[in-house]
Amino acid sequence: MSDKQQEGKPTMNSKLDFIFNRRSVRKFTAKAVSEENITELLEAAMAAPSACAKDPWRFIVVRNRENLRQIAEFLPNGKFLAESPVGIIVCGDISAAHAESESYMLQDCSAAIENILLAASALGLGTCWLGVHPREDRIAGIVKFFELPDNIVPISVIAAGHPEKMPEKHTRFMSNNVHWEKW
């Protein structure tokens, strides 16, 4: 362990800048996100680990401004989605999840979500993860809007675009949250 780590100061290795540069972005330029970038984000999502390689994630890509505005109505903290160039709705297919377990499905989809956020950072895009699950009103709004089948559970919406301003890199590392060898 380095002296900085022992003192509780983060090192923020520059090789990991794509992680440290990942921030929640709520203001985007009007520039469209290319189909190539969207595909790259989805490829990154589907490179995530999943329990027994069941890959229960499903995605809905939304670029239509009116649809984004309507989806934003279900998300009290996501009104800015209406001005985002793209929204990615991350859903889980409970029938595809390991042991049809909601917990495994949520973990698998969360790994895919994080991969999208990190890939966007590496591509110079900004994102904001908007929670849907477990809020029943948000789930119901997304289910109704997209006419989702019963086995598909909306987990989150990711707003994505070219950030108006690139945020500074950061970490919330706190050494007192780390225990070595035992509690």
Whole-structure pTM over 0.75, yes or no? yes
In a domain, 169, yes or no: no
- 99: domain CATH number is 3.40.109.10
Angle between helix axes 102-122 and 35-45 (nearest 10 degrees) is: 140
Q: Which two tokens stand for residue 100?
A: 């049809």
pLDDT tens-place values along the chain, 183 residues long:
454 545 566 789 999 999 999 999 999 999 999 999 999 999 999 999 999 999 999 999 999 999 999 999 999 999 999 999 999 999 999 999 999 999 999 999 999 999 999 999 999 999 999 999 999 999 999 999 999 999 999 999 999 999 999 888 899 999 999 999 999
In a domain, 74, yes or no: yes
In a domain, 60, yes or no: yes
Angle between helix axes 65-72 and 136-146 (nearest 10 degrees) is: 150
In a domain, 15, yes or no: no
In a domain, 47, yes or no: yes
Other beta carbons within 10 Å of 19: 16
68 is in which domain, residue-wise?
Answer: 34-164
In a domain, 25, yes or no: no
Count: domains in the chain: 1
